[in-house]
Amino acid sequence: MIPDEASGSGTERWTFGVAPLPQAAHVAALMRRVTGLVLALEDEVTEVDELIADLQRAEEALQALVPSDATPRVGSAASGPGRVYLDHARDIGAFNPCFPAYEIAVHGSEAEGSVTFPVAYEGPPGIVHGGFLAVFFDCVVQHHNCDLGVAGKTTGLSLRYRRPVPLSTPLAFTVTRTVADGRIRSIVRLSAVERVLCEAEVDAIAGDRSALPEVSARRTIR
């Protein structure tokens, strides 16, 4: 049995991968905002034509700066020609606009935080798509586990949708976890004005940090 931590202090945070570049955070936040604006347009406009042209130029320029092999440089491929692997332990939404961004505070075996889902995550009218809620729960649980230094691959995730989760609304969440027999179980609740909207039960392996494969550092390209 692995005892759960009483507090997050004094523990070594679990990381696996390379830190994202600062520019990635600016791009992720901007792309989420611009996506919401484009989705809300009533008609086609020249501003979007200009945006498309700018993005196409950027795509062509950036293509020449990244490896042609998209395989992440991890494990047996660490010395290969592939791409750098970014740390997905925490705050993925801060550098990847496909993931939700959130705030979290870890207090040992419990954590709490807040999240607001923008228009880019809409499913039914004005409501967050349920699949994004699953991604969100998995992200905050892994963040919690990694901050406490005992983490591993997700083995199960079950959701219960109690009420529709609104877009563009500040929401609160809590995480409570237990660790026993090499397994981690987390209970997460997402709420608005103290009403539970959605809850999840997430199971993960309590992994062995020493067994993590090698991850290649960034390489000089200029």
- Domain definitions of the chain by residue range: 22-211
Q: Which of 207, 218, 216 is nearest to 89 (CA)?
A: 207
Phi and psi at 103, nearest 5°, equal: -115, 140
pLDDT at 3 over 60: no
Confidence of residue 209 (pLDDT cuts 50, 70, 90): confident
pLDDT per residue over 151-179, tens digit each?
999 999 999 999 999 999 999 999 999 99
For residues 82 and 107, give the distance between their C-alpha atoms in angstroms, rounded to a whole number.
38
Task: Assign domain 22-211 to its CATH architecture.
Answer: Roll (3.10)
For residues 144 and 156, give the distance between their C-alpha atoms in angstroms, rounded to a whole number.
16
Residue found by looking up tokens 């005892």 in the block: 3
Instruction: Note the helical H segments in 42-157.
Output: 46-63, 130-148
